[in-house]
């Protein structure tokens, strides 16, 4: 069942989303050559805690950290480590969730480490554009097929592979709620309605669509070792324009 959120729940999700956005603002400054993904995780943990929220990922099905940090060919769910040091030319996807008074904000962003290749620039630009095109379709009356189709069209324009085993999801009292959101035209006729809150998260690849899970039970990488990017926002469907809940609040 897809739940519609109350005004009070949406208020709390906006606060959770603002905390997540604060983490991303800090990541933008912190990501540079020589920094470990463990250090990034510690920064995220401190920001979430100092805002009196709970790191949603920490302990989720046993996940050991507050962020997922996925470098280059890693797609999602990379585990932060003091042994994973960022180097010039890498790209890193940071995914983070914060729970505030029981409500979740979920957002991912991919960052360039120093100067990156033209291909990686195309990958990042295309994936961010795919997210924004999908968000534009998050209008009451549209279907999830319209949303996935928007991602598919931008992926094609940028000549990028689409990760198909993972996708967006309802979010609110739980990090993962119904519906699942495909990042391509999967024929899903679910109609968007005001009050639905859904995380949209295209994962696009420089190479083929296929991915595999590492022996650690978490990290997902591309099968062909090509780089992958991930961008995500939590969105509220309204009677009018879609609202991005994981943006910095206007104070």
Q: What is the token pair recorded at 211?
A: 């991915």
- For residue 229, the minimal CB distance to Mg ion (Å) is 13
**3-class state of residue 181 by DSSP:** strand
Q: Which stretch binds Mg ion (CB under 5 A): 80-88, 98-106, 133-141, 180-188?
A: 98-106
Considering the rule CB under 5 A, would residue 106 count as an interface residue with Mg ion? yes
Strand ranges, E, within the chain: 54-55, 67-71, 74-76, 91-100, 103-112, 161-162, 168-170, 177-181, 197-200, 203-205, 211-213, 220-222, 228-230, 233-236, 243-244
Q: How many residues bind Mg ion (CB under 5 A)?
A: 5
Considering the rule CB under 5 A, would residue 177 count as an interface residue with Mg ion? no
- For residue 108, the minimal CB distance to Mg ion (Å) is 5
Considering the rule CB under 5 A, would residue 21 count as an interface residue with Mg ion? no
Residue 170: its H or E element:
strand 168-170
Helices (H), 164-210: none
Task: Using the minimum distance from each CB to Mg ion, give the nearer residue, 209 or 232.
Answer: 232
Task: Using the minimum distance from each CB to Mg ion, give the nearer residue, 159 or 176.
Answer: 176
Task: Using the minimum distance from each CB to Mg ion, give the nearer residue, 9 or 106.
Answer: 106
Q: Which stretch binds Mg ion (CB under 5 A): 95-103, 142-150, 188-196, 222-230?
A: 95-103
Asked whether 24 and 17 are in contact (CB, 8 A), the reply is no
Asked whether 154 and 194 are in contact (CB, 8 A), the reply is no
Site string for Mg ion, 180-219 (x = CB under 5 A): -------------------x--------------------
Cα 184 to Cα 77: distance, rounded to the nearest angstrom: 21
Cα 137 to Cα 190: distance, rounded to the nearest angstrom: 13
User: Can you tell me which of 95, 146, 177, 209 binds Mg ion, judged by CB under 5 A?
Assistant: 95
- For residue 243, the minimal CB distance to Mg ion (Å) is 17
User: What is the contact surface with Mg ion in residues (CB under 5 A)?
Assistant: 95, 106, 108, 199, 232
């Amino acid at each position: 069942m897809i739940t519609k959120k109350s005004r009070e729940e949406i208020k709390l999700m906006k606060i959770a989303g603002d905390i997540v956005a604060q983490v991303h603002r800090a990541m933008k400054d912190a990501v540079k050559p020589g920094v470990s993904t463990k250090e990034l995780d510690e920064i995220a943990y401190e920001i979430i805690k100092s805002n009196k929220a709970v790191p949603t990922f920490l302990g989720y099905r046993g996940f050991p950290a507050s962020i997922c940090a996925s470098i280059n060919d890693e797609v999602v769910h990379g585990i932060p480590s003091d042994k994973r040091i960022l180097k010039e030319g890498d790209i890193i996807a940071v995914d983070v969730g914060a729970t505030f008074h029981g409500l979740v904000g979920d957002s991912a962003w991919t960052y360039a480490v120093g100067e990156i290749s033209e291909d990686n620039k195309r990958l990042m630009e295309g994936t961010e554009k795919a997210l924004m095109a999908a968000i534009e379709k998050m209008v009451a009356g549209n279907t999830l097929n319209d949303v996935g189709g928007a991602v598919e069209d931008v992926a094609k324009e940028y000549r990028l592979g689409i990760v198909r085993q993972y996708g967006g999801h309802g979010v609110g009292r739980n990090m993962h709620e119904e519906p699942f959101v495909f990042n391509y035209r999967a024929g899903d006729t679910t109609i968007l309605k005001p009050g639905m809150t859904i995380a949209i998260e295209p994962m696009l690849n420089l190479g083929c669509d296929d991915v595999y899970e590492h022996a650690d039970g978490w990290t997902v990488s591309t099968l062909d070792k090509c780089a992958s990017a991930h961008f995500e926002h939590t969105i509220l469907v309204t009677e009018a324009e879609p609202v991005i809940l994981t943006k910095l609040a206007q104070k």
